[in-house]
A = this chain, B = another copy of it.
Amino acid sequence: MKIRLLLSYKGTHFFGWQKQSRQRTVQGEIEKILFQLFKRKISLVGSGRTDAGAHALGQTAHFELEEGLKNIDLKKALNSLLPFDISVLDCWKAPLEFHARFSAKKKSYRYFIFTGDSPPALFRDLVWWKKGDLDLEKLNKMSQELIGTKDFKSFQSAGSDVKNTVRTIYESRWIKMSNSLYCYKITGSGFLKQMVRNLVGTYIGLLKEKRANQKLKQILKALDRRKALSLVPSQGLYLKKVFYSSSLDKICYKI
């Protein structure tokens, strides 16, 4: 049987999602617990990687279980065994065709910027601290330029072997959450390596420029990472949700 998991984690003390031999990673920690629970090696497949330090409000993953669940309350068992910075929000029995990565249709990310003039002592790991108010209108004009199907090669960091850099962006907007907290919301068919962090860094960098919109368009058109501005830190980044087709969601059963 196939098990689908909805996960939340705080990325601060992980070297990202993907398993590495000597580092603490989300995939590695969960696989350790699955081994403990089922007494054999189980591979966990995520919807995609997340960067070291980046968080998840709703990452999706799956694994296969030959023998079935027996009488285990899986969510409860996992949450009682997992470390404090990983949480299982939901478990489903999924059809065999479900694949956390290949079945994913869309993803949503959030990026949080705290703009107060004193450091956010309580939330240092959970936001990017950048002093000074942001021009929300200007940010939203730029972020609107992304909507649609475009080649985002300029916003892909080096070290990726992805060849097709065309993606569709459905939602791209900034909101002011409170006096000194801003949030960027982006939803797309998929994302390139460090794309959200590269995008946010470019928006913020262009804020001080005239004709920022035009410049953003030029950067997009250049299809060249060296044209984009430097990326923002990972601690402000959250994988919010991974979307699957509703027909597939319908044949996943909560357990």
A: residues with CB less than 8 A from B are 8-10, 55, 57, 75, 79, 84-90, 118-122, 124, 126
Docked Cα-Cα span, A8 to B75, in Å, equals 36
A75–B121 touching, CB < 8 Å? no
B79–A119 touching, CB < 8 Å? yes
Smallest CB gap from A8: residue in B: B121
B118–A89 touching, CB < 8 Å? yes
On chain B, the residues within 8 Å of A120 by CB distance are 8, 87
Q: Which of B57, B84, B88, B121 contacts A10 (CB 8 A)?
A: B121
On chain B, the residues within 8 Å of A79 by CB distance are 118-119
A122–B57 touching, CB < 8 Å? yes
CB distance from A71 to the nearest CB of B (A): 19
Known: A8-B122, A75-B118, A84-B121. 6 other contacts (CB 8 A): A9-B121, A9-B122, A10-B124, A84-B124, A87-B119, A87-B121
On chain B, the residues within 8 Å of A118 by CB distance are 8, 75, 79, 87-90
On chain B, the residues within 8 Å of A75 by CB distance are 118
